[in-house]
Amino acid sequence: MASPEPVFAPYRLAPGALPEEAARAAASAEATPLVAGAGEPLPGPLVNTALADVPAGRAASPAEACRAADGSTAGGGGPARACCSSPRQRAKIAEASRAAVQAGFAGICLDRPDASLALGLLGAGFCPECQRALARHLAREYGEHFQPVDYLALARAAIAQASGAISFEQLPFGRDFWRVRHDALPRAIGDYARDARDAARAANRPFDVVAQFEEVGHAQLRAARHLDAAIFPARPGPGTAGLGLARLLRAAMGRRPCALAPAPDATPAALARLAAVGATCGVDLSGVEPSGDAGREVAAVRRLARRLQRHAIAPASCDPVAECAILYASEADLWTAGRHRAAVERVAEILAALHVQAPIVTKVQDAPPGAVLVLAGCAGMAPHEAKDARRRLEAGAGILALGEPSAADEAGRPVPSPAFPPGKPGGTRVGEGTYAVLPPLVKDGATAAPDGALLDRALAALLGRGRRAATVLARVPVLVILHRVPGALLVHLVAEERAQGATLFLGVHVAGGARRARFVSADGQDVRIPMNPSGNSVSTVLPAFRGYAVLSLSI
Ligand SMILES: [Zn+2]
């Protein structure tokens, strides 16, 4: 970001709060930058580090809002939601950005620009602007002789005939409609960001463009590439606790700052857990009140995260150690309406529970050499991704598929892909590589527990036995996430319950011959501890701790 923040943990000033008092409390909890309404009178020094809140997802009036399939104002009775395809909305946001530059703000925070998309298939996308965008797409897709259709009438007829919940596949030109709606958000965010940066350039000032999204999804993750930082809702997928989501967001954001906004009713215990789990991937919490039990615990995690950042060893500046690399395939997310993403989050947590180091990647090429590529619920991936995966397999890599992978073309139509032969849990030889297939983790919308014995067999076939990056022997679950930078290995640890006498083993292929390590915990410990050689690993008994801790080794 233009103004590097120690930790990206945006804090929204409550309207009418005394700004200096609130800012002091937030700063003491390292909850920065401040996000303030553009009209809030902020004292000069505060403005220069604050982001101006821009209500990008709100329509100025119901007349300017997007529309639902039944013709009503998008918003389901709540505030009217803006249309992503509306030039009028773009002009309003550009105006707000210029005003923020002039008022001296450090940047803008686009508030829920995805508000209309978050209403789902039938809740928005039926206003005249959206329908024009669809008509342009249809003419492109089906040629200039394509007769314009009264899409609204067609859609309403299909909805009237459908029984129960309706998916995009049941709408006429449903895949086109789904694609156009999801393309509108990244395009809009790109436009909003360009307008804001143009205004800042004209004023010769550094300026950050940040967005807080209402949902995590295909369009939001694509839109994020236009931003300097982003805030996503902390709504982990079914059957997951948050690590999978944090891994996914880190993958989507690369080294840029990213925060999670917890649900308003999250308990102090849930907030503390989320702060610790997020910290292992360099993802902080936004919007936690600095006072109270949760505020104190979250602040302690932030102080440790800030210390890592000062030494350039925070997760976002390091590379995750990868025994497996889980592919998040953007196209599969779109065409499975999120089921692929749910499977990705879930497999990340299943592997973490086994202490397998498994970051998420957004491209096959980003999987480090030697890592087993994991394809979870990968239905409808882009044909070139399927080809890249096959090439990697033939060249000697391992692939673990949970559910048979498949490819789809630009319009979401399944295409026959010779990339993946039938496989079995124990692995099949393909070229120089090994291909193992397990049953899907998400079936008919419900998550299924993996068969532990089958998973063990597949991992043994793919990773080999006995050569693991990290294992922990402890009476309580301990999460271990490894990152490295040249010269150092960082072991991020989370124990929800107090872990006493936990023994950590690190493979010599990641830890080298380190004989000493430094253990720092959010609960205040900072001690040097010995590492003991034991066969192909080095081991140590960790000091008793609860919550978040980091062990650093010079390698
Ligand atoms: Zn619209």
What confidence score (pLDDT) does residue 162 get?
87
Q: Exposed e or buried b for every residue in 518-546, given b needs 16+ CB within 10 A?
A: ebbbbeeeeeeeebeeeeebbbbebbebb
Regarding whether 361 and 413 lie in a shared domain, the answer is yes
Q: How confident is the model at residue 63 (pLDDT cuts 50, 70, 90)?
A: very high
| C-alpha of residue 200 to centroid of ligand 1, in Å | 28
Q: How confident is the model at residue 548 (pLDDT cuts 50, 70, 90)?
A: very high
Distance CA 517, CA 271 (A): 29
Is 50 or 29 the better-scoring residue by pLDDT?
50
Regarding whether 496 and 380 lie in a shared domain, the answer is no
- Residue 205 within any structural domain of the chain: no
For residue 3, pLDDT beyond 50: no
The token duo for 204 is 């010769």
| C-alpha of residue 234 to centroid of ligand 1, in Å | 27
The token duo for 550 is 């980091």
| C-alpha of residue 118 to centroid of ligand 1, in Å | 13
| C-alpha of residue 66 to centroid of ligand 1, in Å | 4
Q: Centre a 10 Å sphere on the Cβ of residue 251 and count the other Cβ atoms it contains.
A: 23
How many structural domains does the chain have?
A: 2
Distance CA 35, CA 158 (A): 44
- Residue 283 within any structural domain of the chain: no
What confidence score (pLDDT) does residue 6 get?
56
Q: How confident is the model at residue 143 (pLDDT cuts 50, 70, 90)?
A: confident
Average pLDDT in the chain: 93
Distance CA 126, CA 134 (A): 10
Regarding whether 490 and 453 lie in a shared domain, the answer is no
The token duo for 237 is 């997928």
Q: Which amino acid is at 142?
A: Y
| C-alpha of residue 84 to centroid of ligand 1, in Å | 6
| C-alpha of residue 73 to centroid of ligand 1, in Å | 10
What confidence score (pLDDT) does residue 387 get?
95
| CB distance 535 to 466 below 8 Å | no
| C-alpha of residue 77 to centroid of ligand 1, in Å | 16
Q: Centre a 10 Å sphere on the Cβ of residue 487 and count the other Cβ atoms it contains.
A: 9
Regarding whether 355 and 427 lie in a shared domain, the answer is yes
Regarding whether 349 and 390 lie in a shared domain, the answer is yes
Regarding whether 438 and 327 lie in a shared domain, the answer is yes
Regarding whether 512 and 458 lie in a shared domain, the answer is no
The token duo for 169 is 């596949």
Which has the minimum average pLDDT: 16-30, 84-98, 226-240? 16-30
| C-alpha of residue 124 to centroid of ligand 1, in Å | 6
Q: What is the mean pLDDT of residues 148-163?
A: 88
What confidence score (pLDDT) does residue 28 get?
86
Regarding whether 475 and 446 lie in a shared domain, the answer is no
Q: What is the mean pLDDT of residues 197-210?
A: 97
- Residue 286 within any structural domain of the chain: no
What confidence score (pLDDT) does residue 220 get?
98
Q: How confident is the model at residue 129 (pLDDT cuts 50, 70, 90)?
A: very high
| C-alpha of residue 47 to centroid of ligand 1, in Å | 34
For residue 305, pLDDT beyond 70: yes
What confidence score (pLDDT) does residue 4 get?
46
Last residue of a domain, one of 429, 463, 497: 463
Residue with tokens 């397999």: 393
Q: Which amino acid is at 468?
A: R
Q: What domain range is 403 assigned to?
A: 321-463
| C-alpha of residue 131 to centroid of ligand 1, in Å | 7
Q: What is the pLDDT of residues 172-188, one digit of tens each?
A: 999 999 999 999 999 99
| C-alpha of residue 180 to centroid of ligand 1, in Å | 11
| C-alpha of residue 132 to centroid of ligand 1, in Å | 9
The token duo for 6 is 């120690």
| C-alpha of residue 22 to centroid of ligand 1, in Å | 37
| C-alpha of residue 402 to centroid of ligand 1, in Å | 37
Regarding whether 441 and 355 lie in a shared domain, the answer is yes
| C-alpha of residue 293 to centroid of ligand 1, in Å | 43
Q: What is the pLDDT of residues 488-530, one digit of tens each?
A: 999 999 999 999 999 999 999 999 989 999 999 999 999 999 9
| C-alpha of residue 134 to centroid of ligand 1, in Å | 10
Map 296-364 to HEC letters: HHHHHHHHHHHHHHHCCCCHHHCEECCCEEEECCHHHHHHCCCHHHHHHHHHHHHHHHCCCCCCEECCH
- Residue 195 within any structural domain of the chain: no
- Residue 275 within any structural domain of the chain: no
- Residue 432 within any structural domain of the chain: yes
Residue of 363, 431, 425 lying closest to 400 (CA atoms): 425
Regarding whether 374 and 451 lie in a shared domain, the answer is yes
| C-alpha of residue 178 to centroid of ligand 1, in Å | 13
**Residue 287 backbone dihedrals phi, psi, to 5 degrees:** 75, 20
Q: What is the mean pLDDT of residues 361-377?
A: 97
Residue with tokens 């600095």: 290
Q: What is the mean pLDDT of residues 340-346?
A: 96
For residue 2, pLDDT beyond 50: no
Q: What is the pLDDT of residues 262-278, one digit of tens each?
A: 998 899 999 999 999 99
Q: How confident is the model at residue 289 (pLDDT cuts 50, 70, 90)?
A: confident
Q: Which residues touch 358 (CB under 8 Å, ≥6 apart)?
A: 247, 322, 323, 324, 325, 326, 347, 348, 351, 352, 374
CATH of the domain at 475: 2.60.40.1180
- Residue 508 within any structural domain of the chain: yes
Q: What is the pLDDT of residues 430-458, one digit of tens each?
A: 999 999 999 998 777 677 888 899 999 99
| CB distance 112 to 216 below 8 Å | no
Q: Give percent of the chain above pLDDT 70.
A: 99
| C-alpha of residue 70 to centroid of ligand 1, in Å | 13
Strand pairing partners for 111? Answer: 212
| C-alpha of residue 75 to centroid of ligand 1, in Å | 12
| C-alpha of residue 217 to centroid of ligand 1, in Å | 19
Last residue of a domain, one of 437, 463, 489: 463
Distance CA 370, CA 464 (A): 12
Residue of 32, 40, 34 lying closest to 5 (CA atoms): 32
Q: Give percent of the chain above pLDDT 90.
A: 80
| CB distance 171 to 126 below 8 Å | no
| C-alpha of residue 24 to centroid of ligand 1, in Å | 41
Regarding whether 433 and 531 lie in a shared domain, the answer is no
Last residue of a domain, one of 416, 436, 463: 463
Regarding whether 450 and 549 lie in a shared domain, the answer is no
- Residue 280 within any structural domain of the chain: no
Distance CA 431, CA 427 (A): 13
| C-alpha of residue 251 to centroid of ligand 1, in Å | 30
| C-alpha of residue 551 to centroid of ligand 1, in Å | 50
- The pTM of this model reads 0.96
